[in-house]
Chain A
Amino acid sequence: MILRDLGLAVWVSLKTSGLAAVIASALAVPAALYLSSREFRGKKVVLAVTQTWMAAPTVVIGLLFYSLLSRSGPLGGLGLLYTQTAMTVGQTFLILPLVMGFSYTALRQVDRRARQTALTLGASGRQAGWIVLREARFPLLVAVLAGFARAVSEVGIAMMLGGNIRNATRNITTSIALETAKGEFRDGVVLGLLLLVITLGINLLVQSGLRGRGGDS
């Protein structure tokens, strides 16, 4: 595998999975905040669906979106199949329940007095919500990073929705699959290690950034 191809594959992985993590977090964290602070009919069903969804195989999600985005599918007119956008959409759908489930757990563990204290000190409901998020920032960060890790390491969605097109949608995991299929096991292992190193680097970077903002873990 030539260096340029490797660089592009890394870039595609970071871009698609990073975007998926950002989008999923933007949807899942507010939803988790709502779920953790309110009691309503059907809440247990929402949580059960979320937990079940976490176990969905990537290839099933890939298949679902493939059927939606393929030329004959209801969203075929968008022309998204075999694009990085399709990969991001699929990965977002994959990690949404994971980020939401972890965020829900993180927010449930915040002392319930935090919100009430913020309110009595004059915070608005929205500000009190931010306080609860701030109190849970480290476990929430773990939720987001876990989502990213899941997205960047999956292969089923990337293969089915991206198509493993060289210099376009080929990422690290589809490159590993390709090298393995070619019998280049050594290259596959090296790519796998590279993926781990990149994920480790991002974890360290984000965590040190948060510590620099005065947080404690």
Chain B
Amino acid sequence: MGRLAYRLRDVGYAYPAPPSPFALEIGSLDVPEGKTLAVVGPNGAGKTTLLLLLAFLVRPLRGRIDLFGRDAWAADDGGAHARRDAVLLAHHPYLFKGTIADNVAFGLKVRKLPDAEARPRVAEALALVELDGWGGKPVSGLSAGQTQRVALARALALRPRALLLDEPTANLDAALGLRTEAVLGEAGRTWGTTVIFSTHDLAQASRLADDILYLSDGKRAERAAAAAFPFPGRFC
């Protein structure tokens, strides 16, 4: 096994307030760098919570999450350093007010990339999601599918080392979903990006992922290579 992108040990998280008594417990989880992991399981299994933990947007109550060999929460920066390497594309992504290009360039500006470098990156990312020439349009009025594609372009523009996606094709029609899968595969191959995504679509999981992690009631129930994953059919 090569270098690990993620290494989780005894990670626990629970939502602090009612009405949700949900808790996530992950004893051990390793994700090798450059690999693609699909997280599957029924609604409420903890898929989104796991992605939030992996994106360092919530802090585990206990346990340790290493990102590329570093304990991400050890530095007293609230996970800020780790978030520069791991980007989450949410199930219902939010676009900032302004133009599509403003949104796609957001992370690049935060990283203080010069305009001369940022502009081609924005154009490249928009081309990847087939929105060439849409940069100047305002985000107001975009459909759910277009919003999803802009958000994906915004994440891809950063060429993140780890890309986390919460049901990335849920808002897309079948053809666009397949093209998005191709883009994600391309990101993995071109930039060595580690991709972790949640899905209810087992066929998609087996098409796209190297490994599949099955969560149930907030716990790791099963993990197997995509080709060998048993298809229980109980959580489709």
Q: Are B88 and A120 in contact (CB under 8 A)?
A: yes
Interface size of B by CB at 8 A reads: 25
Confirm or deny: B90 has a beta carbon within 8 angstroms of a beta carbon on chain A: yes
Task: Give every chain A residue within 8 A of B90 (Cβ-Cβ).
Answer: 113, 116-117, 120
In residues 78-95 of chain B, which contact A (Cβ within 8 Å)?
A: 78, 80, 83-84, 86-88, 90, 92-94
Task: Give every chain A residue within 8 A of B154 (Cβ-Cβ).
Answer: 121
Question: Per-residue 0/1 for A129-169: is the Cβ within 8 Å of any B Cβ (1 yes, 0 no)?
Answer: 00100110000000000000000000000000000000000
In residues 102-139 of chain A, which contact B (Cβ within 8 Å)?
A: 111, 113-114, 116-125, 127, 131, 134-135
Confirm or deny: A214 has a beta carbon within 8 angstroms of a beta carbon on chain B: yes
Q: Are A135 and B106 in contact (CB under 8 A)?
A: no
Looking across the interface, which residue of chain A has its beta carbon closest to that of B98?
A214
Task: Give every chain A residue within 8 A of B97 (Cβ-Cβ).
Answer: 134-135, 215-216
Confirm or deny: B29 has a beta carbon within 8 angstroms of a beta carbon on chain A: no
Question: Per-residue 0/1 for A202-217: is the Cβ within 8 Å of any B Cβ (1 yes, 0 no)?
Answer: 0000000000001110
Q: Binding site of A, secondary structure by majority: helix, strand, loop or mixed?
A: helix
Separation of A112 and B98 alpha carbons in the complex (Å): 18
Q: Are B84 and A113 in contact (CB under 8 A)?
A: no
Separation of A214 and B96 alpha carbons in the complex (Å): 13
Task: Give every chain B residue within 8 A of A119 (Cβ-Cβ).
Answer: 57, 83
* Given A121-B107, A124-B80, residue A216 in contact with residue B94 (CB < 8 A): no
Confirm or deny: B234 has a beta carbon within 8 angstroms of a beta carbon on chain A: no
Interface size of A by CB at 8 A reads: 20
Q: Are B96 and A114 in contact (CB under 8 A)?
A: yes
Q: Are A122 and B83 in contact (CB under 8 A)?
A: yes
Separation of A121 and B138 alpha carbons in the complex (Å): 20
* Given A125-B78, A216-B140, residue A120 in contact with residue B94 (CB < 8 A): no
Separation of A117 and B111 alpha carbons in the complex (Å): 15
In residues 23-81 of chain B, which contact A (Cβ within 8 Å)?
A: 55, 57, 78, 80
Q: Are A120 and B84 in contact (CB under 8 A)?
A: no
Separation of A114 and B97 alpha carbons in the complex (Å): 10
* Given A214-B98, A216-B97, residue A122 in contact with residue B140 (CB < 8 A): no
Task: Give every chain B residue within 8 A of A122 (Cβ-Cβ).
Answer: 83-84, 87, 107, 110-111, 158
Q: Are A135 and B96 in contact (CB under 8 A)?
A: yes
Separation of A110 and B45 alpha carbons in the complex (Å): 28
Least Cβ–Cβ distance between B231 and chain A, in angstroms: 32
Q: Are A114 and B88 in contact (CB under 8 A)?
A: no
Q: Are B94 and A121 in contact (CB under 8 A)?
A: no
* Given A120-B83, A122-B84, A122-B107, residue A216 in contact with residue B138 (CB < 8 A): yes
Looking across the interface, which residue of chain B has its beta carbon closest to that of A117?
B94
Separation of A23 and B232 alpha carbons in the complex (Å): 63
Q: Are A123 and B110 in contact (CB under 8 A)?
A: yes
Separation of A111 and B147 alpha carbons in the complex (Å): 15
A118, A120, A216: the one contacting B55 at CB < 8 Å is A120
In residues 124-176 of chain B, which contact A (Cβ within 8 Å)?
A: 138, 140, 154-155, 158
Least Cβ–Cβ distance between B162 and chain A, in angstroms: 11
Separation of A131 and B78 alpha carbons in the complex (Å): 18
Separation of A214 and B102 alpha carbons in the complex (Å): 11
Q: Are A121 and B110 in contact (CB under 8 A)?
A: yes
Interface residues of chain A, those whose CB is within 8 Å of chain B, are 111, 113-114, 116-125, 127, 131, 134-135, 214-216
Interface residues of chain B, those whose CB is within 8 Å of chain A, are 55, 57, 78, 80, 83-84, 86-88, 90, 92-94, 96-98, 106-107, 110-111, 138, 140, 154-155, 158
Q: A113-B94, A117-B93, A131-B96 are in contact. List 7 more A-B contacts (CB 8 A).
A: A117-B90, A117-B96, A118-B96, A120-B86, A122-B84, A215-B97, A216-B138
